[in-house]
Each structure stands twice: as structure tokens, then as C-alpha cells.
Chains A and B, each alone.
Chain A
Amino acid sequence: MPARPRTPADPSRPDASAAGSALRGSTARRSVGLIWRGMRAHPRTYVAAVGTSALFGALTVAVSRVLGAVTDRVVVPALAGSEQAQGRIWLAGLVVAVVALALAGAVAARRVFAGIGVADIQADHRRAVTRQYLRLPMSWHRRHPTGQLLSNAGSDVEAATGVFNPLPFALGVVVMIVVATTALLSTDVWLAVAALVVLPLAVVANLVFQRRMTPAITRAQQLRAEVADVAHESFEAAALVKSLGTEDREDARFTDRARALRDANIRVGVVRAVFDPVIDLLPNLGTLLVLLVGVQRVAAGAIGTGDVVAAAYLLTLLAVPVRAFGWVLGELPRGLVGHDRISRVLDAPGVPIDGTTPWVATSPGATLEMRGVDLRVPTADGEVELLHGVDLRVEAGRTLAVVGPTGAGKSTLVGLVPRLVDPSAGVVKLDGTDVREVRPADLAAQVGYVSQSTFVFEDTVRGNVTLADPGDPGAPGDDEVWAALAAARVDDVVRALPGGLDAPLGERGANLSGGQRQRLALARALVRHPRVLVLDDATSAVDPGVERDILTGLRADDDASGPTVLLVAYRMASVLLADEVVHVEAGRVVDRGTHDELLARDPGYRELATAYERESQRRVRERADAEAADVWDEDVATGGGRR
């Protein structure tokens, strides 16, 4: 007997080598592909798992054969009064015990290797999926809910690998059936036919089951993800829910999905509930058939009582193992769905291609240039143009303020520099090199980017500033970290934390205020001494005075020819720190020049720049009017109401 069963994978090799992770072809072919890929990735583990499982299969048949032999040679003659047979009773017990010991060993080994296999394949999937998360562009991330991406790496991986739990067992059962068939055929053909006739029925039952199960499982899995999405979103919105008192509404939203999940689970359950007793029933009916045929064959004198007992016993032993096929087939639909969901991540298009051109720091600042930049992004309703025909040039060491109304595309524009997104047309260049061609490590080292909303890692203050592992020789030293914290005016806050630089910051930096988080993010950029600093409204939650300190601190560096700064800001004080201003509206550059130039010639800019001032003046006028009105009517409330 071959130690390893033939896997039905060979005639047409599954397209594992073809591009992509998705399995193609018919369900049967996809199923085989799923199993084959997993086993091929860990050949040694699966040779051991399937080998020990085959041994288990053979030994199970051996138990029934030994019992049959013992019945004929010991039990029946001994009870009939044979002294010789009575003397062999202990020997019979010993033989059964030895087979039992070997069987238990094979079972243990089978399970250990099966467990290692599943753990390994899961780890493979998780590494692959998370690598892809880190490669895919922001536009992809924004289209995919966090909950979904978490379940891709969590429960979908479990679903995709669930089939590998019973797989070695099932392959061992194949060996068991082959050995049993051979043994039965060598005893008596009629008895063999009686014993084996239930097997095709079991296969048919499994197929029917699988056909019913696939849609039910798919739906339940999808609803489980939906329930998780609703829970995730609702809990993220907990403060809003509380402040509006909309708990009932959220309750209704969640209950609706949870009810649908209940119904889907029951649907899955009903299919299994019917299938289980049937697959249980088949070996038992087989046992009865063996008894019936066996009695006739004994009457015909073809076989002995022991042969009937052995065949009947074998079928009771098969009752559980035959279910292994059911488990494998039952897991396959779930596995394919899980695999498809993982594949959708792994095969997602749009992974930016990493550049290879080294970018060496030659001066403290870098020249930044954008030429003919368009950006279109796909949405549910087709493409949307976010930027159109942007041309810009910032000389090394200069500061450019990007000013425009809310939603004009300022963040999108500055996000092109650290390659959060690549333009659909046109080019973004640093020191004359297309950013897409620059080595990512060089780009990250020399472009500092601070966004509107700060992400804080669950790490220490030091880890959040350096973004390096402890003990990394390339990481900035504590002195540099403190200097950066001081430059971002957040050193006092850190000093007050228990543990200072070692203080752990909770999930998303929950123990810091918004302004403190922004300043921490600023320190994260400053510690790198970037040659291009992109500040996307990065000081909006910082007090005006503190903001001024930080920004003039940047300028102090700048005087000694510091980094090129790209600044999105609303406060005129920040804007005034810039050498030049670019006015952006609706994804287009409206005008560019110094603050004074734009103030003189660009009405849109003038309105933005003088909004507070005009409002103050308007208010002063109103107060004066109101006071005048008070003279007429003392009861009129003060405070501007008229326009």
C-alpha cells in the first residue's frame, strides 16, 4: 500500500503558479486547488500528517481483523470447551493491547502534525494579507471598512484553513477503506459487497449536503461580517450615540442584522441537522446488511462467525471516520468563501510600484515640483476629479502655504508628496526626480508628513516619535527625541507622564488631548530632520500662542537653510510665515504669489485672509447700532442680529 494517497490534483495542475491568489474553475477544481496549495506549501508536515494518518487507517482495520481472528480462534472454541483455545486467551488479550498502543500512537502523531499544518498555513495567509495591506494605496484603504480588513486577517483566514483540520484524518480514512476492501475481498466477495455498498451512498449524501450547504454558509459568513461591521461602526460612534441619545436607533440597526444572522445560522443548522443523522445511519444500516448477508454465507459454509463479526465491527469503526469526508466537504464551501475573501485582498490591483532610484540628501532642503497633475478617484458613482492641471514649483528651503476653502483639495494636493496617492496624470518631482521612482525608504526618510488627524500607535512615547524598534541602531537617540519634542512644544507634557519617554500611550493615544497628539505627531516628523516637511493643517488643535512658537521654531531652522515646507493652514499667522502662497479652489490652482500680492489681486483669497477681521469690524458696527437702538428701546437685547 502506498504510504501516501494519491491526491487527485495532477492531470491539470491547478493554476497556483498563474498570477493571483484567486482559485479559478469549477467548484471541485477550486476545492482541490485550495487543498493542494496548502499542502504543497508545507510538504514535510503534510507527508508526516498523511503518513501517520494512513498508519492509523491501517491499524483501525487491523483491530477489526484481530477481533475477528480472536472470535474464531479463541472465543467461540473456548466457549465451546476447547482447552487449547482457553490457553490462548491471554495471548489474544496481549495482541489486542499491542495493536491498541500502536493505534493510539498513530492518532497522536496524526493530530499533532495536522495541528502544525493548520497553524502554519494560517500564519502564511496572515503574513501575506498584512503585507498586502501595507502595500496597497490609501485610496484602497479608504474604500474598505476596518472591520472587513480585520476579519480578512482573522476569521476569513480561519475559514480558509478550516478544511485542513480534518483533512489528514480523511486521507487516512481513504487508506482505511482501501485496506478494508482488500481484506474483505480476500475473505468473501459477497460479504465485501455487503459491507462496502454503503460507501457510495455516503458519498452521494455528502454531495447533496455540500450543494445545499454552500449558499447557506456563504450567507451566514457574510452576515457575521455585517454584524461585526455594524458593531464596530456603532461602538466607534459611541460618543455621538451618547450625546444624541440614539441608543434605541443603534439597537434597532444592530438587532436587524443580528436577526438576519440568527436566521442564516438556523438555516445552516437545519441542513446539518438533517444530514448528520443520515450519515450516522448509513454505517449502521451497513452493519445490519453485513449481518444479513453474513448469516447466509455462514449457512452456505463460505465463512466463519469471526468473519461476520470482523466485517460488522469494521463498519461500526467506520461510523466516525466516514464522517471525516463530511467534515472536509462541509468545510470546503466555507473554505472557498474565506479564500475568495483573502484573494480579493491579495489580488487587489493598484499596488504602487516601488521606485529604485536612490535619493541622496545633498542640501537641507529639496526642490519640489508638480507638473500637470490630475487626480481622479473611483467612487460608487463613477470617477471623481479631485485635482486638475496643478503646476507648482517650490525652491529648496522655501516655505509654501496652501490656502483655500474647506474641501478644495489641499490635503489631497500635499498628500502627493509622501506618495499617499499617485497622480492619475502629470508628475510630482523632488530634486528633479519623479517621486514614483525614488526608493521608498529614501522618500520616507526625507519627507516628513503630519496630517490633520493624528494616528498614535499603541507604543511608548519614544516608539511613537522614532517609529523604530527598541535597540534599533538607526533610531534617533533620546537626546534627539527630546529635542524634537521640545521643538514641537510637547516636551513638558511628556515629562509629566509617568515614565517620560517610556510612558505607554493607549489605543489611538486616548490619554492625550487633541492638541497634544498633534504636537506629538509634529515631533515624529521633526526628529527625522526631513528635507521636505508637509504640514496638513497639523496645528489646528494647538493653541495660537503655542502654534506660533512652533512655527517660528521651524523658521529659525529655516534661516540656516532648513527644509522645504509645504503648509496647509487657515491661520494668517501661519500663512505669513510662508515665503509664498498658493490659492487652491475646487482642485485647481487659482493664483500664486506672496501674501500681499494675492491680497491685492485675488478676491477669493482676500475673502479668506480677511474673514475674521471683517467679521470683527462688522461686529463692532453692529454693537454701535445696537447701542444706538437701545436708546430707543431699552428692552431690545444686545448682540448683533441685523445684517
Chain B
Amino acid sequence: MSTTDARQEGAPDSRMAPASTLGVFATLRRAAQVSPELLDGLTLTLALAVVAATARVLVPIAVQQTVDTAILAPGGVDVSRAAALVGVAALGLAVGAACSALVNVRLFRSSEAGLLTLRTRAFRHVHDLSVLTQNSERRGSLVSRVTSDVDTISMFVQWGGIMLLVSVLQIFVATTLMAVYSWQLTLLVWACFLPLLVVLPRMQKGVNRRYAAVRERYGAMLGAVSEAVVGAETIRAYGVSARTQRRIDAAVAATRRAMVRAQTLVAVVFSSGVLVANLVLAVVVVAGTWLGVAGDLSVGRVLAFLFLVQLFTGPVQMATEILNELQNAISGWRRVLGVLETPVDVAEPGDDAVASPRGPASLTFQDVGYAYPDGPPVLRDVDLHVEAGTSVAVVGATGSGKTTMAKLVARFMDPTTGAVLLDGVDLRRIASADLRRRVVLVPQEGFLFDGTLTENVAYGLRDEAPTGGLTPEAVARVERVVAELGLDTWVAELPAGMATPVGQRGELLSAGERQLVALARARLADGDLLLLDEATSAVDPVAEVRIARALRELARGRTTLTIAHRLSTAEAADLVVVVHAGRVVEVGTHADLVARGDHYAAMHSAWVSQTR
């Protein structure tokens, strides 16, 4: 594993917790803390559920009463008594059904309300995590934590949860009635089910392992599919569809195998429940008849037992499936709670927070070093001071650490040694709301949302641009910025001007056009310190020069830090910083550094020879 001995202390491990490690009950308790709505009105719901479960024993009671007091009545068959019994039982069943419906509705409402809270809190926490943590997990898998994992829980609470509740109550009521009829037979029935109760949890563990394998294979399969979707262009251009399909087919086949393995074991578990339930019938027939012969039981009661065992075995059979769903729900819950448990390693300042008001921004690197977790250092001993209002160009070879510098200023992560200061204040002591207002980063590949150009640029208005439709003022501001940057001629040539849709991730635009949109957006975001990381690398030279000039005009009084391969940027900057192998090796004006005849002079002459 180790690649270099020179590795120093890297940034702390910032990976996303794969899942919470809480036990079953601790998970449920934590879940109830996160989503208190789950417990809303639970007492009344439980009371209604007791009524619903009690109604279920009405049929066996009716059978027993009818057989003993109507059919086998001393004075011959008593039809009117049977009619009265049946009428009362029917009424009771109707009341039970109504309670049951109420229980369901109440549980649906409270569980969905609780899961909404869980979903939105997890979503928010993902955005609050540091960029490093976000990048430690695939996007698809992050998405599943706020979608399918929550859906799994929703399925459980709605179905398994209701059944679990009803079943437990039903077993309780059935046992009570059985004990009233015959305690001996009740003990015997319980004795028959006990082995099942011992064996089932063990088999259930096996089932869970196999379902875990299904989920793992399923995730891998979606990963393979996502490559085919996101990498469609490359796959097409290189004619590797067949290979991609083979990879997907292998993942699909593995998912299928895992599913069959899991379901086969479930079939064995379930049918063993069926077996025990029906064997209990044999036991009741034999033992019940003997007890009857001994004079302890009437015919009606023996028969009622057969019906009661049915009430009893249904839930026990179901229990295996419900437990299984419960396990799925718990592991879903653990994965979502895992998100909430993942610490925010780029934390908000505590009591030592310092206000950072708007205004010209100065920037200082104080003995800054950085190494990615488990990686070699990428920046060392960087000392640099940038006065407010200065335009700085950072140049250097690929991999020299330029982008890392920009990321540290945007506080995507914190330096492993030293400090980055804004107006003399350590970034770690500035509230993120202040920092984000003041520092705006434009990366090389800015993200575009699936919407129109206007919507994408307006994103720079942040909270001033509501999601549900833009105000005329917002649109006007967007148009003004587009004109200020000289982009209006480009926009005029687009099929629908600013209303042109950009497509998924902006794919209907070229890479250069996407950069133009990202720039306009950043301009609208109006920070005091603008970080441009290769922000115009894919734009044509005329446009780049025009934009650079426009930005300089607009950024007057503001500080800009530009990372660029094209040294036209450096020529125009107030200050040029040359980074080499993680260290700042030269700082000065373009003219000074050219005259010095070292790193920068060599880079510049190479660039000039290429452009002219």
C-alpha cells in the first residue's frame, strides 16, 4: 500500500460512514429521536389495534358457542340461538374492521411524516459534509441513502410494521382465549411452537446474510449500468458496447443468483412454519379429543381450538417474513443514520467565530501544508500574502498543487498544517454563510442543472432566486450580467436565447459554453474574492480575452485568484505566483519574473511560441 516514505500526516480520514453500527433497539430509538413524528398518537393507535385484534377471536368463539349451545344443544338444534350468535359476531367483526382501517390510516400518516423528516435531514447533512467526504462515496450510493433506503423503511412501517403490531396482539388475545378454554391444550400448543421460535431467529440470520448479498449485487449492478449511461459517448466511440454489456450481464446474473439463493432459503423457513402450524392441528385433534374423553373439554371447545390455532399460526408464519422486512428496514435505517452520524470534518466555528463583513478581501497562506487522507503531501510550507483588490495568477505544471490551493481558500477542506486567513482571520473561525458570500469558486467543469440558461445563471443569485420561478428582477439581473461579460452575442446565436435548455448536466452545450454559464453565474454570485480554477480553459481565445477583460473591469476592488494554463492571464495579473511540486517557488509581477529568467520565464516563452 505504502507508496512513499515521505508521507506526512494526511488530512484526517473523512470517509462517509457506510452504516450506523447501532444495535436493533438502539437504531429504533435513534430513529424515533430523529423522526419524532413516528410516535405521534401512538397510544390511541395501539388502543384501536387492541380492539381490532380482539374482534378476530369472535369467529372461533362463535364456532364454539354455536356447536356447543346451538347444534349440540340438549333440546336439539337451536336455530334462533345460532342466528343471534352470528348476528352479534358480525356486528363485532364490523367494528373490528373499522378500527383496523383507522389503525392503518394513522400509522401511514405518522410513519410517512417521520420518514419525510429522516429523508430531508439526511439530504441536508450530505450537503453539509465536506467535499472530501462527499467524494468518498459514489453519487449513486449517496442518492440511494435518501431514496431507496428510506423507501425500504417506508415499506416496512406500512406493511410489516402494521402486521407485526396486529400479529403480536392477535397472538396475545388468541392465547388468552385458549387458556380460558383449556390451559393444558394451550401449554401443548405453545410447546409445539417453541422449537420454531428458537430455530427461526437462526435461520433468519442466514436469510439476512443472503439478502445483504442481494443488495450488494444490486448496487454493483446499478454501478455497471450507470457506467453504460454516463459513459455512453466513450463506449460508442470505442465500440466497446459488447464488453460493457458483458460486464452488465455478469452483474445482472450475479444479482439473479443472489436473489434465488435468498428466496430459496426464505421458502424453506416459511414452509417450516407451515409444517409446524399444521402439525399442531394433529396434536390438537389427538390431545383435545383425549381431554374431551376425560371430560375436560366440550366438542365445541375442541373445534374452537382448531380455529384459534389458525389465528395463532398465521402470525407466527408471518413473523419470519416480518422479521426479515424488519431487518431490511433496520439496515436501511442504519445506512441513513450513518449519513447523519458522519461528522462534518470542515466544521462550522463554535464560540470563537469571528464576523467577516463584506468588503475588499485580503488573503494569506500561513505556512500551509496539505496532504489528502492516506496521500503524500501536495502542498508544503506555502506562505503567501495577497492584498485586497489584487488580481493574482497561479501558474505551475499539472499536479503541482494549484487546484488544492484554490480548494483550501474555498474551504473545501482545511489545511493539515498552518492556516489560510481571510482579512487576517483563520477560515476555520468564519461562519460558512459569511465565507460563501465572500469567496466564490469557479471550477474548470462547473455543474449545470437541467434547465434553461437563465435558470442556471440565476442560480448565482443564491437564495434571492426562488426555485419555483424567477422574478422579473432576477431575470433582468441575469441579463445584465450576461451583457456585462460580453456574452450577449453568443446568446443571440442560440436557438432560444437565454431560454435555451442546457440538458442534463449541461450536455446540450459545449464544454466552453458551459464555462461561460458558470462564469456568469459566479459573477452574479458577487463575491469579494473570486477563485477561477481553469475557468475559461475550453473557451475560444477571442471570448477568453473578452471575458478576462470584462472580469477585470468588474472585479475592480475585488481580489481574484486565477489558476490558468494560458499565460495571457498571468500577463494581465498584478501578481504571479509560480507553484512547483507543492511549493511556491516564485512570486512577482509578470515583468519581474520574466526578467528573472527562471521557472516562469521558461513557461512563458514556451507559451508565447505556441500562441504566435
The verdict on A573 contacting B271 (CB below 8 Å), with A100-B282, A131-B245, A611-B541 known, is no
Residues of chain B lying within 8 A (CB to CB) of residue A248: 463
A35 is an interface residue with CB less than 8 A from chain B = no
User: Would you give 9 A-B contacts (Cβ < 8 Å), ordered by A?
Assistant: A246-B463, A277-B96, A298-B77, A316-B307, A381-B499, A444-B239, A457-B231, A541-B565, A616-B568
Complex CA distance for A266 and B107, rounded to whole angstroms: 10
In angstroms, how far is the closest chain B Cβ from the Cβ of A309? Answer: 6
Complex CA distance for A608 and B285, rounded to whole angstroms: 97
Question: Are B238 and A235 in contact (CB-based, < 8 A)?
Answer: no
Question: Are B504 and A115 in contact (CB-based, < 8 A)?
Answer: no
A629 is an interface residue with CB less than 8 A from chain B = no
Residues of chain B lying within 8 A (CB to CB) of residue A259: 116
Question: Are A510 and B134 in contact (CB-based, < 8 A)?
Answer: no
The verdict on A146 contacting B229 (CB below 8 Å), with A112-B263, A299-B77 known, is yes
In angstroms, how far is the closest chain A Cβ from the Cβ of B147? Answer: 5
The verdict on A281 contacting B97 (CB below 8 Å), with A419-B236, A469-B246 known, is yes
B399 is an interface residue with CB less than 8 A from chain A = yes
B385 is an interface residue with CB less than 8 A from chain A = no
Q: Using an 8 Å CB-CB cutoff, how does the interface string of B113-132 with A read, 1 for contact, 0 for none?
A: 10110011001101110010
Q: Using an 8 Å CB-CB cutoff, how does the interface string of A86-110 with B read, 1 for contact, 0 for none?
A: 1001101110110111011101111
Complex CA distance for A78 and B299, rounded to whole angstroms: 10
The verdict on A75 contacting B285 (CB below 8 Å), with A119-B256, A285-B90, A405-B542 known, is yes
Question: Are A406 and B612 in contact (CB-based, < 8 A)?
Answer: no
Complex CA distance for A449 and B231, rounded to whole angstroms: 13
Question: Are A277 and B252 in contact (CB-based, < 8 A)?
Answer: no
Q: Using an 8 Å CB-CB cutoff, how does the interface string of B474-485 with A read, 1 for contact, 0 for none?
A: 000000000000
Question: Are B490 and A407 in contact (CB-based, < 8 A)?
Answer: yes
Question: Are A78 and B232 in contact (CB-based, < 8 A)?
Answer: no
Question: Are B227 and A224 in contact (CB-based, < 8 A)?
Answer: no
Q: Which of B98, B222, B297, B449 contacts A237 (CB 8 A)?
A: B449
Complex CA distance for A115 and B338, rounded to whole angstroms: 31
Residues of chain A lying within 8 A (CB to CB) of residue B556: 641
Question: Are B275 and A291 in contact (CB-based, < 8 A)?
Answer: no
List the one stretch of A10-18, A211-219, A249-257 in contact with chain B.
A249-257
Can you list the 9 inter-chain pairs with the closest CB atoms, starting with the nearest?
A: A444-B239, A245-B436, A573-B610, A115-B263, A100-B278, A273-B104, A269-B108, A111-B267, A104-B275
Complex CA distance for A241 and B63, rounded to whole angstroms: 67
Question: Are B59 and A96 in contact (CB-based, < 8 A)?
Answer: no
Interface size class, chain A: 35 or more
Q: Which of A292, A524, A611, A641 contacts B82 (CB 8 A)?
A: A292
B467 is an interface residue with CB less than 8 A from chain A = yes
Q: Which of A96, A135, A143, A250 contacts B285 (CB 8 A)?
A: A96
List the one stretch of A63-71, A176-184, A559-567 in contact with chain B.
A63-71
Residues of chain B lying within 8 A (CB to CB) of residue A609: 541
Q: Which of A142, A145, A255, A607 contacts B542 (CB 8 A)?
A: A607
B572 is an interface residue with CB less than 8 A from chain A = yes
Residues of chain B lying within 8 A (CB to CB) of residue A640: 552, 572
Residues of chain B lying within 8 A (CB to CB) of residue A237: 447, 449
Question: Are A97 and B467 in contact (CB-based, < 8 A)?
Answer: no
List the one stretch of B25-33, B286-294, B349-357 in contact with chain A.
B286-294
Residues of chain B lying within 8 A (CB to CB) of residue A510: 135
Q: Using an 8 Å CB-CB cutoff, how does the interface string of B504-539 with A read, 1 for contact, 0 for none?
A: 110111111100100000000100000000100111
- Residue in A closest to B247 when the chains form the complex, CB atoms: A469
Residues of chain B lying within 8 A (CB to CB) of residue A411: 510-511
Question: Are A115 and B267 in contact (CB-based, < 8 A)?
Answer: yes
List the one stretch of B174-182, B196-204, B437-445 in contact with chain A.
B437-445
Q: Using an 8 Å CB-CB cutoff, how does the interface string of A402-420 with B read, 1 for contact, 0 for none?
A: 0011110011000000111
Complex CA distance for A135 and B299, rounded to whole angstroms: 71
A554 is an interface residue with CB less than 8 A from chain B = no
Q: Restricting to A243-294, which residues have a CB under 8 Å from any CB of B?
A: 243-256, 258-259, 261-262, 265-266, 269-270, 272-274, 276-278, 280-281, 284-285, 287-289, 291-292
The verdict on A93 contacting B282 (CB below 8 Å), with A79-B293, A228-B143 known, is yes
Question: Are B543 and A236 in contact (CB-based, < 8 A)?
Answer: no
Residues of chain A lying within 8 A (CB to CB) of residue B191: none
- Residue in B closest to A95 when the chains form the complex, CB atoms: B282
A624 is an interface residue with CB less than 8 A from chain B = no
Residues of chain B lying within 8 A (CB to CB) of residue A284: 58-59, 93
Q: Restricting to B219-252, which residues have a CB under 8 Å from any CB of A?
A: 221-223, 225-241, 243-246, 248-249, 252
Q: Using an 8 Å CB-CB cutoff, how does the interface string of B79-95 with A read, 1 for contact, 0 for none?
A: 10011011001100110
Question: Are B70 and A543 in contact (CB-based, < 8 A)?
Answer: no
The verdict on A546 contacting B398 (CB below 8 Å), with A444-B238, A586-B493 known, is yes
B540 is an interface residue with CB less than 8 A from chain A = yes
Majority-rule SS of B interface residues: helix
Number of interface residues of B (CB under 8 A): 199
In angstroms, how far is the closest chain B Cβ from the Cβ of A120? Answer: 7
Question: Are B399 and A255 in contact (CB-based, < 8 A)?
Answer: no
Residues of chain B lying within 8 A (CB to CB) of residue A130: 225, 228, 245, 248, 252
Question: Are A153 and B123 in contact (CB-based, < 8 A)?
Answer: no
Question: Are A142 and B534 in contact (CB-based, < 8 A)?
Answer: no
Question: Are B306 and A241 in contact (CB-based, < 8 A)?
Answer: no
B322 is an interface residue with CB less than 8 A from chain A = no
Majority-rule SS of A interface residues: helix
Q: Restricting to A511-570, which residues have a CB under 8 Å from any CB of B?
A: 513-516, 521, 524, 528, 537, 540-548, 570
Question: Are A233 and B3 in contact (CB-based, < 8 A)?
Answer: no
In angstroms, how far is the closest chain B Cβ from the Cβ of A504? Answer: 13
- Residue in B closest to A383 when the chains form the complex, CB atoms: B495
List the one stretch of B325-333, B420-428, B601-609 in contact with chain A.
B601-609
Question: Are B86 and A545 in contact (CB-based, < 8 A)?
Answer: no
Residues of chain B lying within 8 A (CB to CB) of residue A254: 120, 123, 146
Residues of chain B lying within 8 A (CB to CB) of residue A111: 263, 266-267, 270-271
The verdict on A317 contacting B285 (CB below 8 Å), with A130-B248, A612-B541 known, is no
A480 is an interface residue with CB less than 8 A from chain B = no
The verdict on A291 contacting B101 (CB below 8 Å), with A541-B444, A546-B398 known, is no
Residues of chain B lying within 8 A (CB to CB) of residue A224: 147, 151
Question: Are B460 and A133 in contact (CB-based, < 8 A)?
Answer: no
In angstroms, how far is the closest chain A Cβ from the Cβ of B321? Answer: 11
List the one stretch of A21-29, A121-129, A333-341 in contact with chain B.
A121-129
In angstroms, how far is the closest chain A Cβ from the Cβ of B385? Answer: 18
Question: Are B450 and A233 in contact (CB-based, < 8 A)?
Answer: yes
Residues of chain B lying within 8 A (CB to CB) of residue A6: none
Residues of chain B lying within 8 A (CB to CB) of residue A494: none
Question: Are A288 and B70 in contact (CB-based, < 8 A)?
Answer: no
A451 is an interface residue with CB less than 8 A from chain B = yes
